[in-house]
Each structure stands twice: as structure tokens, then as C-alpha cells.
Amino acid sequence: MRRSFSAVLLSFLLVAFGVLAGCKVEPRKTDAELGLNEQQARGRRVYEAQCQRCHEPYSSAGVHGPSLKKLGSHQYLPSGMPVNDDRLTDVIMMGKAKMPAFRGTIGDQQLQDLLAYLKTL
């Protein structure tokens, strides 16, 4: 009797964990579903390789850094600085606070592609 109760409890916990874990993760949308053009799609690849480990693109939850959800519709960064290509380029290439610099890691074309993608968030 005790063994079957433990098995039922374990099954319940595994299902509950699976449901809770599934709540945070949205299925990854394709470039077409997001309406990305070719440059924005390339920028998305740069984002996934360099930025996504710290910044959530479509969620308000941050991983290690602030979420970038709706970055393109904001006037200001969390620091209070304006959201524009020059400021984003400075932050990306030179880093800021806990964010590392990506100068030497991201080339000019990759940066332009990334900026185009960030405007779609």
C-alpha cells in the first residue's frame, strides 16, 4: 500500500512539474510567423547566439539581464538612455555594468542585422 502511494505521489509530482515548467516556455516561432525579413532573421541568429542566454526576447522575465520584450516600442533603456541605434550600438559593442562588450565578437554586418531584429521585439 505504501509503495503504491509513493508511486502515485511521484507520478503526480512529475506531471505537476511538467505542467509548471511548460507554463514558462513558449514554442519557438518561425521567422515567417514573426514576420521577419531576411536581415531581421539574420539578426535573430546573432541574438540567439550572443544575447539570448541573458535576455528574454518575448517574455517580461529576464534571465540574467533585463528582458528585451517590446524594446522597439520603448523610448528609453532601463538606464534611462534613449533607445536608438547609436545607444544600442554603444551598449552592445562596449558593454555596460554586468553586460560584456561584444566588440571583436560581432562584426559590422552582424551588428546591423541584430539592430534590425531588436526593433521587431
Residue 6 belongs to some domain of the structure? no
Position 98 in a domain = yes
Q: How many domains does the chain have?
A: 1
> Which span out of 3-12, 17-26, 27-36 was modeled with the highest average pLDDT?
27-36
Residue 20 domain flag: no
**What whole-number distance in Å separates Cα of residue 29 and Cα of residue 73?**
20
> Whole domain around residue 44: which residue ranges?
32-118
Query: Is residue 68, in this structure, part of any structural domain at all?
Result: yes
CATH of the domain at 73: 1.10.760.10
DSSP summary character for residue 69: T
Residue 47 placed within a domain: yes
The predicted model gives 25-36 an average pLDDT of: 84
Average the pLDDT over 34-47 and give the result: 96
- Cβ-proximal residues to 113 (8 Å cutoff; 6+ apart), any chain: 39, 40, 42, 43, 45, 46
Task: Over range 71-96, report the average pLDDT.
Answer: 88
